[in-house]
Amino acid sequence: MTETTRTYTVPGMSCDHCRQAVSGALEGLPGVTKVEVDLATKLVVVEGADLDDGALRAAIEEAGYEVA
């Protein structure tokens, strides 16, 4: 397994509910070990092993947010 970090810009996040929705959607995915959401910069940083970029993007979009 290869540890990787993926960073996404999610411009629609603005509150704690947004942070919880995006974090919750990502934390349940295989391989994800850590999720950090920074509302000020609109960045989501995901750490884990063998992360699937498509699955991560889909999870963010399914939570109701667009990935820039």
Residue-range domains of the chain with CATH: 3-62 (3.30.70.100)
60 alpha-carbon distance from chain centroid: 6
Average pLDDT, the chain: 96
- The 3-state DSSP class for residue 60 equals helix
Q: Which two tokens stand for residue 59?
A: 């999870």
Query: Exposed, middle or buried by CB within 10 Å (0-12, 13-18, 19+), for 59?
Result: buried
pLDDT digits (tens, 9 = 90+) for 11-60: 999 999 999 999 999 999 999 999 999 999 999 999 999 999 999 999 99
The whole-model pTM stands at 0.94
